[in-house]
Amino acid sequence: MIREEFPVEGSHYQGGISDGWQYQIRFAGSKLQASLDMIRAFLDEEGYEDVPLPKTQDELLHFRLPTKQQQISLFDNNGYVHNPIKILFDPNERTSKTLILCIFDEKADNHLLRFHGKIT
Name the average pLDDT for the chain.
Answer: 90
Quote the CA–CA distance of 7 and 19 in Å, as a whole number.
8
| Within-domain flag for 43 | yes
Using alpha carbons, select from 88, 101, 111 the residue that is nearest to residue 21: 111
Decide if 79 is inside a domain: yes
Backbone angles phi, psi at 61, to 5 degrees: -65, -20
Is residue 10 a part of any domain in this protein? no
23 belongs to a structural domain: yes
Question: For the residues 105-117, what does the mean pLDDT come to?
Answer: 92
The model's pTM:
0.90
Position 69 confidence tier, pLDDT thresholds 50, 70, 90: very low
Task: Report the Cα–Cα distance between both ends of the chain, in Å, rounded.
Answer: 25
Domain that holds residue 50: 15-115
- State yes or no: pLDDT of 11 exceeds 90: yes
The confidence score (pLDDT) of residue 68 equals 56
Q: How large is the average pLDDT for residues 21-44? A: 97
Residue 76 has what pLDDT?
A: 64
